[in-house]
Amino acid sequence: MLDWSNISTVLLDMDGTILDLHYDNHFWLEHLPLRYSETAGISLEQAKENLVNHYQKVTGTINWYCLDYWAEQTNLPIVELKKEVQHLIKLRADAHDFLVTLKATGREIVLVTNAHPDSLSLKIERTQLDKYFDTLYSTHEFGVTKESQLLWEKLQDKHGFELSNTLFVDDNIPILQSAEKYGFKHLLAIANPDSKQPVKTITEYPAITDYRELLADIKRHPVS
For the chain, list the domains and their CATH numbers.
4-20+89-220 (3.40.50.1000), 23-87 (no CATH)
pLDDT in tens, 55-71: 999 999 999 999 999 99
Burial of 130 (0-12, 13-18, 19+ CB in 10 A): middle
- The pLDDT > 70 percentage for the chain reads 100
pLDDT at 224 over 90: no
**Where does residue 131 fall: left (phi above 0), alpha (psi -120 to 50 degrees), or beta otherwise?**
alpha
pLDDT at 15 over 90: yes
- The pLDDT > 90 percentage for the chain reads 99
Write a three-state SS string for the chain.
Answer: CCCHHHCCEEEECCECCCECCHHHHHHHHHHHHHHHHHHHCCCHHHHHHHHHHHHHHHCCCCCCCCHHHHHHHHCCCHHHHHHHCHHHCCECCCHHHHHHHHHHCCCEEEEEECCCHHHHHHHHHHHCHHHHCCEEEEHHHCCCCCCCHHHHHHHHHHHCCCHHHEEEEECCHHHHHHHHHHCCCEEEEECCCCCCCCCCCCCCCCEECCHHHHHHHHHHCCCC
Could you count the other beta carbons within 10 Å of the beta carbon of residue 74?
Answer: 20
User: What pLDDT is recorded for position 119?
Assistant: 97
Model confidence at 120, pLDDT cuts 50, 70, 90, reads very high
Q: What is the mean pLDDT of the chain?
A: 97
